């Protein structure tokens, strides 16, 4: 791995594209935020930003962590595309091809949540812990399990947001917001689920609303499943919903209650405060992870 030189990173999101130029050791030297409009206009702005950095070969590679669903199969004819997104106008957008055609760089491409996990693994809350789990709880819910620095993939990439968690029907009559499963984890606990349940944006819910107790329970239920199946050494919870820092202690207590001392590990029993943690890179996990991807493909 060559850490000298400069690399480009893009975190492509539904509301903005964060573009940065930085070093292979994670220092960002320049950054810009581009509002997400149409694919053509957004990608053109991204390309215009990077063009002066790309000649003559200051930036040799660009990593892209992109909102999905995306095609990550290198053999596929639609590799590097955003595929069936509900975001209007963005279905079948050739992100990688558009960047490659315009800039003389290598391009690495992955899901946004995978990029964020890589960023936290390289320079943040998961460094140097392995394996680790990064979960984002926001507009959607997605998770990445990193083992030896690589995101677990199988038939497809894991879709951790769509598992079933016990729906507390006594206290929560909301039928769920997932168009596929109704009251799956994402359908109960994502930002849009909160919005649909209360008819107001999650940020307008006060910290002492009784709903947060339910939310902590749903998140803890999902974490218990992931911990039992994957046995990560650390769990990082990011995304807009997790900006409510008071959720962390509630989730930790609930996870321990649900595990009922079955898993005997000091990391859980004595140090859960450093086992379930917020991202250390704040809102830059994704763009820094994209830099890692660029560095590793250059």
Count the residues of the shown chain that bind Zn ion, applying the rule CB under 5 A.
5
Q: Give the one residue of 178, 255, 259, 276 binding Zn ion; rule: CB under 5 A.
A: 178
**Smaller CB separation from Zn ion, 64 or 222:** 222
Beta carbon nearer to Zn ion, 63 or 142: 142
Is the Cβ of residue 117 or residue 184 nearer to Zn ion in the bound state? 184
Binding segment (CB under 5 A) for Zn ion, from list 35-43, 56-64, 70-78, 158-166: 158-166
* Residue (59 or 184) nearer to Zn ion, CB: 184
Contact 89, 39 (CB under 8 A): yes
Contacts of 176 (CB under 8 A, 6+ apart): 167, 182, 183, 184, 187, 188, 193
- Cα separation, 84 vs 104, whole angstroms: 28
Q: Which residue has the tokens 């968690």?
A: 165
Nearer to Zn ion, 100 or 181 (CB): 181
Q: Are 97 and 52 spatial neighbours (Cβ–Cβ below 8 Å)?
A: no
* C-beta of 27 vs 84, nearer to Zn ion: 84
d(CA 188, CA 165) in angstroms, rounded, equals 9
DSSP conformation class of 155: S
Residue 205: Cβ-neighbour burial (10 angstroms; 0-12, 13-18, 19+): middle
Q: Is 196 in the site for Zn ion (CB under 5 A)?
A: no
Which member of 16, 106, 162, 196 binds Zn ion (CB under 5 A)?
Answer: 162
Place of tokens 């594209």: 17
Stretch that binds Zn ion, among 122-130, 173-181, 213-221, 249-257 (CB under 5 A): 173-181
Give the three-class secondary structure for 99: helix
Q: For the CA atoms of the chain, what is the radius of gyration? A: 19
Q: Is it true that the peptide bond before 232 is cis, omega within 30 degrees of 0?
A: no
Q: Report residue 17: phi and psi, to 5°.
A: -105, 115
| Residue 184 sits in the site that holds Zn ion (CB under 5 A) | yes
Chain CA centroid to CA 189, Å = 16
- Interface region with Zn ion, contact rule CB under 5 A, candidates 145-153, 183-191, 261-269, 280-288: 183-191
Q: Which one of the spans 19-27, 129-137, 181-189, 275-283 is the region binding Zn ion (CB under 5 A)?
A: 181-189
Closest distance of CB 140 from Zn ion, Å: 9
Shortest gap between Cβ of 192 and Zn ion (angstroms)?
11
Using the rule CB under 5 A, is 181 a contact of Zn ion? Answer: yes
Interacting stretch for Zn ion, rule CB under 5 A, among 18-26, 78-86, 104-112, 175-183?
Answer: 175-183
CB of 292 to Zn ion, least distance (A): 29
Which C-beta is closer to Zn ion: that of 10 or that of 178?
178
Which range touches Zn ion (CB under 5 A), out of 24-32, 90-98, 176-184, 276-284?
Answer: 176-184
Q: What would the two tokens of residue 82 be?
A: 């955003």
Nearer Cβ to Zn ion (9/217)? 217
Pairing of strands 141-147, 81-82: unpaired
Contact 136, 113 (CB under 8 A): yes
Site residues for Zn ion per CB under 5 A: 162, 178, 180-181, 184
């Amino acid at each position: 791995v060559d850490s000298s030189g400069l690399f480009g990173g893009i975190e492509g999101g539904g509301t903005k594209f964060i573009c940065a130029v930085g070093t292979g050791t994670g220092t960002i030297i320049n950054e810009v935020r581009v509002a997400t409009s149409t694919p053509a206009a957004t990608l053109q702005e991204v390309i215009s930003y990077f063009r002066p950095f790309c000649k003559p070969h200051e930036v040799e590679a660009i990593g892209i962590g992109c909102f999905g669903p995306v095609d990550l199969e290198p053999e596929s004819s639609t590799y590097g595309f955003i595929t069936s997104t509900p975001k209007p106008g963005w279905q079948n957008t050739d992100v990688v091809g558009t960047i490659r055609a315009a800039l003389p760089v290598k391009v690495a491409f992955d899901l946004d949540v995978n990029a964020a996990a890589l960023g936290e693994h390289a320079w943040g809350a998961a460094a140097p812990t392995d394996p680790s789990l990064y979960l984002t709880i926001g507009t959607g819910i997605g998770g990445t399990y990193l083992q030896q620095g690589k995101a677990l993939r199988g038939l497809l990439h894991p879709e951790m947001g769509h598992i079933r968690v016990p729906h507390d029907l006594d206290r929560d009559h909301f039928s769920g917001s997932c168009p596929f499963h109704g009251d799956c984890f994402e359908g109960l606990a994502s930002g849009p689920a909160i919005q649909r349940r209360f008819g107001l944006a999650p940020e307008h819910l006060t910290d002492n609303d009784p709903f947060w107790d339910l939310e902590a329970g749903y998140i803890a239920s999902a974490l218990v499943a992931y911990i039992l199946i994957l046995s990560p050494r650390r769990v990082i919870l990011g995304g807009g919903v997790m900006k409510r820092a008071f959720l962390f202690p509630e989730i930790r207590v609930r996870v321990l209650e649900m595990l009922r001392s079955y898993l005997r590990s000091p990391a859980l029993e004595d140090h859960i405060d450093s086992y379930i943690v917020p991202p250390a890179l704040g809102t830059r996990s994704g763009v820094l992870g994209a830099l890692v991807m660029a560095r590793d493909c250059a």
